[in-house]
């Protein structure tokens, strides 16, 4: 009798344990790699240590790395959350210094491995460099626009020298003790006396110069032009320019070795290349296929299950079956602004970016940016409803907000009081249309009714749920980041079953960032194959159900 009851319970998809109805285990999904990972999440500042290693800063990955130039091996010197570096430099005593763009902290790691905060509460910390006499300077950019001087030992507070420069980025000091650096907003390379503030233009006419370094002779500057993808040599005495090498757009920083080899980072391609100026040849130092894959989307009627990937520095199309990447739009060289979440409408792709505080609507066929809507409230998940209005999850304010189709866009609050809303998925075909939202702060999946904003909890007790998608059988697939697992939730009962665990997802939260800042994306193809982005590995995985298996109801 007991055997028959057990068989019926399993056939019904549930099992009674201690009076509780538990879901039957899901089918054994096969985990596969769609796109292999990378050691970085968008590489930025570079510095040579003089011992055969290249230091590289990793802003979103919150780490500082060392690359062995003889082998290409990458190791982590400082991990998250302290290592959120936009730029990195070596001090006279061998200490490593780096700037925390989001944390607003200037950090130092001494040769004996001790790490400390030298300055804080300076959002937008960006570039830094030492003068020959050991004085240390750094800039704010984006979240500020200033040049500062800092005691390298941190015994004195930082001293602001100049403001309103036009976004001074990767700079260096010459033998004349003048600061040489690019002004992003002006397309210029300037020379500045940091003591008097006297500034003069060395060269101009760049698309977006992001960094400069001197060659071994100290008579020429190498300039990385991010928008044009050019490495340019500038004769300091005359300002004459020569393009040395043509590279992909998205260059972020550079450093020059004593042999005049130029190491260049590209945040869009998440790689580092070395250029030989004598012949313009280029070879890779560290390669990657994705930068920071976060939000994912797939059209339910697409038999090839092609993924739209919000890769932070690019919007990419990735073949769900074969992993082939078709790049659609890159930041800086287009009007797109650092996508972190993505969803699909009938004819549009909708992107959100907590990075630069905006939502964008793109034409799904051409990739053209049709609308840009500012939003500085930590916007995460975003959906386009059937009437063209948008629904935004604001992680910082805890609200779901409607944005109408008018220009300028008008907004209304659908509901508020959510705890870090991150992921959104539509349930608009129900009798009472609504949306499901993950709350990273409360550990809930909540359903919000579109007619009046009324909400009810669907599942509780989760740990940091982020990405969410609907399965063809109606179930909810959720990335439970806090437990490093992928789960299926029955929206009718709230029962949760684990599909995969021990996943490499969930960079630690960092000071100055909204909840779920780099979201773990989830998508489901029409075949029932599940797709997951890994922020820790900069990779994409798929979970394939057994052939012919019945999906859990």
In whole angstroms, give the CA distance from residue 91 to residue 95.
5
Return the DSSP state at 2: H
Domain 290-543 CATH (choose: 3.40.640.10, 3.40.50.1100, 2.120.10.30, 3.40.50.620):
2.120.10.30
Cα–Cα distances in angstroms (integers) from residue 252 to residues 79, 127, 209, 482, 551, in the given order? 21, 11, 9, 32, 46
Q: Do domains 43-286 and 290-543 have the same CATH topology?
A: no
Q: Which ranges of the chain have pLDDT less than 50?
A: 1-24, 550-553
The residues spanned by each domain of the chain are 1-28, 43-286, 290-543
The values of phi and psi at residue 289, to 5°, are: -110, -30
In whole angstroms, give the CA distance from residue 456 to residue 454.
7
User: What's the pLDDT score for residue 6?
Assistant: 33
Kindly give, in sequence order, each residue whose CB lies less than 8 Å from that of residue 380, ignoring residues fewer than 6 positions away: 340, 341, 352, 354, 393, 394, 395, 421, 422, 423, 424, 514, 515, 516, 519
Kindly give, in sequence order, each residue whose CB lies less than 8 Å from that of residue 68, ignoring residues fewer than 6 positions away: 52, 53, 74, 75
User: What's the pLDDT score for residue 326?
Assistant: 86
Let me know: does 312 contact 291? Beta carbons within 8 Å. yes
In whole angstroms, give the CA distance from residue 143 to residue 159.
17
User: What's the pLDDT score for residue 126?
Assistant: 94
User: What's the pLDDT score for residue 142?
Assistant: 85
Q: Which residues in 385-464 belong to E strands, given as ranges?
A: 390-394, 399-403, 411-415, 421-427, 434-439, 444-449, 455-459
- CATH architecture for the domain at 43-286: 7 Propeller (2.130)
pLDDT in tens, 2-34: 334 333 333 333 433 333 333 445 568 999 999
């Amino acid at each position: 009798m007991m055997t028959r009851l057990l068989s019926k319970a399993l056939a019904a998809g549930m099992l009674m344990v201690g009076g509780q109805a538990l879901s039957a285990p899901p089918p054994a999904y096969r985990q596969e790699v769609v796109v292999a990972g990378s050691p970085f999440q968008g590489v930025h500042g570079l510095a040579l240590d003089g011992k055969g290693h290249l230091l590289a800063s990793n802003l979103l990955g919150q780490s500082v790395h060392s690359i062995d130039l003889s082998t290409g091996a990458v190791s982590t010197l400082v991990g998250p959350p302290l290592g959120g570096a936009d730029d990195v430099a070596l001090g006279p005593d061998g200490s490593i210094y780096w700037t925390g763009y989001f944390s607003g902290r200037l950090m130092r790691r001494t040769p004996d491995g001790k790490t400390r905060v030298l300055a804080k509460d300076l959002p937008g910390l960006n570039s830094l460099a030492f003068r020959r006499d050991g004085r240390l300077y750094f800039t704010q950019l984006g979240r500020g626009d200033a040049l500062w001087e800092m005691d390298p030992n941190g015994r004195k507070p930082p001293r602001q020298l100049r403001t309103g420069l036009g976004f001074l980025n990767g700079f260096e000091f010459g033998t004349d003790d003048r600061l040489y650096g690019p002004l992003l907003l002006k397309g210029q390379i300037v020379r500045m006396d940091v003591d008097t503030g006297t500034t003069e233009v060395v060269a101009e006419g760049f698309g977006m110069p992001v960094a400069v370094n001197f060659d071994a002779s100290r008579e020429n500057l190498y300039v990385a032009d991010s928008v044009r993808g050019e490495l340019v040599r500038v004769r300091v005495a005359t300002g004459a320019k020569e393009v040395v090498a043509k590279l992909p757009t998205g260059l972020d920083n550079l450093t020059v070795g004593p042999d005049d080899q130029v190491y260049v980072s590209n945040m869009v391609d998440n790689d580092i290349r070395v250029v030989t100026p004598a012949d313009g040849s280029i070879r890779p130092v560290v390669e990657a296929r994705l930068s920071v894959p976060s939000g994912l989307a797939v059209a339910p009627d697409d038999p090839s299950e092609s993924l739209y990937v919000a890769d932070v520095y690019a919007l990419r199309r990735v073949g769900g079956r074969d992993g082939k990447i078709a790049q659609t739009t890159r930041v800086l060289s287009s009007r797109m602004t650092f996508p972190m979440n993505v969803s699909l409408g009938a004819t549009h792709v909708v992107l959100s970016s907590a990075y630069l505080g905006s939502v964008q609507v793109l034409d799904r066929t051409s990739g053209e940016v049709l609308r840009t809507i500012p939003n500085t409230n930590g916007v995460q998940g975003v959906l386009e409803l059937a009437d063209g209005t948008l629904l935004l999850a604001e992680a910082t304010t805890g609200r779901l907000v409607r944005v109408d189709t008018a220009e300028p866009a008008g907004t209304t609050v659908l509901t508020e009081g959510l705890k870090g809303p991150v992921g959104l998925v539509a349930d608009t075909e129900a009798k009472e249309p609504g949306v499901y939202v993950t709350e990273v702060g409360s550990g809930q999946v909540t359903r919000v009714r579109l007619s009046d904003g009324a909400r009810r909890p669907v599942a509780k007790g989760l740990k940091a749920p982020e990405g969410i998608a609907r399965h063809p059988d109606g179930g909810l697939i959720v990335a439970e980041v806090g437990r490093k697992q992928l789960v299926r939730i029955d929206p009718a009962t709230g029962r949760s079953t684990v599909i995969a665990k021990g996943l490499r997802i969930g960079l630690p939260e960092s000071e100055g960032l909204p909840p779920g800042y780099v979201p773990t994306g989830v998508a489901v193809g029409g075949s029932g194959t599940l797709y997951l982005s890994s922020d820790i590995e900069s990779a994409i995985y798929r979970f394939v159900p057994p052939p012919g298996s019945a999906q859990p109801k």
